[in-house]
Structure 1
Amino acid sequence: MARWEPNARVRLVRAALDLFAEQGYDATTVKEIADRAGLTKTTFFRHFPDKREVLFAGQDLHTRLLAEAIAEAPDRATPLEAVGAALDAVTAAFTEDRREFSAALRPVIAGHSELQERSALKRAKLAEAMTGALHERGVPEPAASLAAEIGLRAFDRAFEQWADPAGREALTDLTRRAFDELRAAMAALDQGRPAPRGERTPTA
């Protein structure tokens, strides 16, 4: 008789993270993950190709949310406004019950180069999704990729704060603040007046 499988994907993710934290990523097998989740190895491989991918289960959803939000932004929206809408859409998926999970995930990834490489690939895919969606809106390069990178930098900064179990602010609010700060910093870069040509800027 097949084992009970509702929410199998979520159960596998939580089981994997628990085992990685308890005994280490390298020492954990797919069978152990399936057993901890109360499922079979066959069920595991229906959801994930290997144990590494368990920790990046949300990539497809996040990629879709970012691209769709940019595509659906008002025609009058600037590239950064479209990216801001995308950040709102993706951060809404990080509900409060995921904060503790995300806090536990960070040290597991930080402790393994293989997982760090996979995390970098996920980030690149998210940037690619936003850049492509901006291209579809007619945003040229390098503006499209720069807007996407600013958005991801804001998300990264906010996520570091949010993934603290003691935190209380929503990821959406933290990301909006980080995004506004980066936009302000970019604007400030053009506000300084360069020294006239042929003159040297005084030094202390």
Structure 2
Amino acid sequence: MARWQPDAPGRLAAAALDLFEENGYDNTTVIDIAERAGLTKSTFFRHFPDKREVLFGAGTITGLLTEGIASAPAEAGPLDTVAHALDTLGRTFFTADRREYSRRRQAVLNANTELREREALKRIDLTAAMVEALERRGVPISTARVTAQLGALVWEIAYDQWIDATTGEDFGPLARQALAEVRAAEAVC
């Protein structure tokens, strides 16, 4: 692949995923990834601080969620605001063309303790970002914390269902269904 081709981060992510599947995470180096992508090691480090981060998208999901929270209708309650953000995420990031990559990525994460730990830390950061975005909308801190935790749970349920090979459903409707289940559970409690 020529070095001038566009989308270096995407090419690096695809190369890393292929190599992690073929050789395992521990047996793959940054140099291996850069070479597979047709790029240099320095290009890799311009886009990612280390080989773990190549699978975590440099804050893309966090940015989309916080933008979705900010752009929710003013009259939306906290949970509806998070639902709006999840809808935005489904339309812009968790699209049908990303499903197979996401499924493969999750299998690589599940096979490696270090990557599972990194994913857990990323989810904590994601929840904290939702709390901050909700607070900026005037949601009281305790309500924002509970709402963000519920939003993270809804996201996790919907994501797991979305990458499941048997569904084929879009992320947004799966997130709305998970949110309805969370609300139904709250009514029973």
Aligned counterpart, 1:72: 71
Determine if contact 2:83/2:175 at 8 Å carries over to the other structure: no
Identity of aligned residues (%): 52
Give the aligned residue type for 1:67.
T
Q: Residue 99 of structure 1: CA displacement?
A: 0.8
Structure having the higher helix fraction is 2
| Structure 2 residue identity aligned to 1:149 | Q
Shift in Å, 1:120: 0.9
Which shows bigger deviation, 153-162 or 10-19?
153-162
Q: CA deviation at 1:101?
A: 0.8
Q: Distance in 1 between matches of 2:159 and 2:53?
A: 20
Q: Which residue of 2 aligns with 1:198?
A: none
- Say which is worse superposed, 48-57 or 104-113, in terms of deviation: 104-113
User: CA-to-partner distance for each residue in 1:115-149, whole Å, 9 max, x for gaps?
Assistant: 11110111011111111111112211321111111
Does structure 2 retain, via aligned residues, the 8 Å contact 1:67–1:86?
A: yes
Residue equivalent to 2:51 = 51
- Give ranges in structure 1 of 5+ residues lacking alignment: 190-204
**TM value normalised by structure 2:** 0.93
**TM-score, reference length from structure 1:** 0.87
Query: After superposition, where does 1:128-143 map in structure 2 within 5 Å?
Result: 128-143=128-143
1:4 equivalenced with 2:4 (yes/no): yes
Q: Residue 181 of structure 2 corresponds to which residue in structure 1?
A: 181
Structure 2 residue identity aligned to 1:107: A
Which ranges in structure 2 are unaligned for 5 or more consecutive residues? none
Q: Deviations over 1:55-113 (max 9, x none)?
A: 101x5221111112212222221111111111111122111111111111112111222
Map of 1:102 onto structure 2: 102
What one-letter code is carried by the residue in structure 1 that aligns with 2:55?
Answer: L
Q: Is the 8 A contact 1:5 1:39 kept in 2?
A: no
In angstroms, what is the RMSD of aligned CA positions? 1.4
Matches within 5 A, 1:103-118: 103-118=103-118
1:38 corresponding residue in structure 2: 38
Q: Distance in 1 between matches of 2:69 and 2:101?
A: 28
Larger Rg: 1 or 2? 1
